[in-house]
């Protein structure tokens, strides 16, 4: 399946940023599920996902003001991190998993909550960090 990322900029006629000519359906759906995308230490917010007349998937992006932290863990295959959102915009990694196929991330990324360390962890947002080869599931624990 073909995937393309474009800048969501009408004035510039939505320029293409990156092309992926042959991805699995699972990887494309995982990418479409994420609200944020990181590449080359730049964070982007997904504004729209669409399927064009040729059947290609297009994801539109806007640049975010903040950059990725280069000191974070890099994964050899496909990583999945769970990060707890804390007060003041802070966050912490509460669990990391090594995956070998995107199918393993697919169901998790579509969950509104998941049990981590014996407690229910509620989804805030998801990102794909292409630099580190991982998906990140941001959330919060119940305050019960």
pTM score: 0.92
Predicted confidence pLDDT, tens digits, the chain (144 residues): 999 999 999 999 999 999 999 999 999 999 999 999 999 989 999 999 999 999 999 999 999 987 556 557 888 899 999 999 998 888 899 999 999 999 999 999 999 999 998 999 999 999 999 999 999 999 999 865
Q: What is the pLDDT of residue 74?
A: 86
- Render 52-108 in DSSP notation, one character per residue: -TTS-EEEEEEEEEEE--TTSPP-SSEEEEEEEE-GGG-EEEEEEEEESSTHHHHHH
CA dihedral (124, 134, 36, 126) in degrees, to 10, reads -20
Q: What is the pLDDT of residue 42?
A: 92
Please choose, from the candidates 19, 17, 28, the residue with its C-alpha nearest in 3D space to the C-alpha of residue 103: 28
Contact 16, 8 (CB under 8 A): no
Please choose, from the candidates 2, 24, 50, 22, the residue with its C-alpha nearest in 3D space to the C-alpha of residue 106: 24
Q: What angle do CA 126, 26, 69 make, to 5 degrees?
A: 35
Please choose, from the candidates 103, 50, 96, the residue with its C-alpha nearest in 3D space to the C-alpha of residue 74: 96
């Amino acid at each position: 399946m073909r995937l393309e990322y474009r800048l969501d900029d009408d004035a510039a006629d939505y320029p293409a940023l990156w092309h992926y000519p042959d991805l699995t359906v699972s990887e494309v759906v995982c990418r479409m599920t994420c609200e944020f995308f990181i590449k080359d230490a730049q964070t982007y917010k997904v504004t729209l996902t669409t399927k064009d007349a040729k059947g290609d998937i297009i994801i539109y992006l806007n640049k975010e003001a903040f950059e990725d932290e280069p000191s974070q863990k890099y994964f050899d295959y496909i990583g999945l991190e769970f990060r707890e959102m804390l007060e003041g915009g802070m966050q912490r990694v509460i669990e990391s998993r090594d995956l070998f196929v995107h199918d393993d991330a697919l169901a998790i990324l579509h969950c509104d909550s998941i049990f981590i360390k014996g407690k229910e962890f509620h989804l805030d947002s998801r990102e794909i960090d292409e630099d580190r080869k991982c998906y990140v599931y941001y959330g919060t624990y119940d305050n019960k």
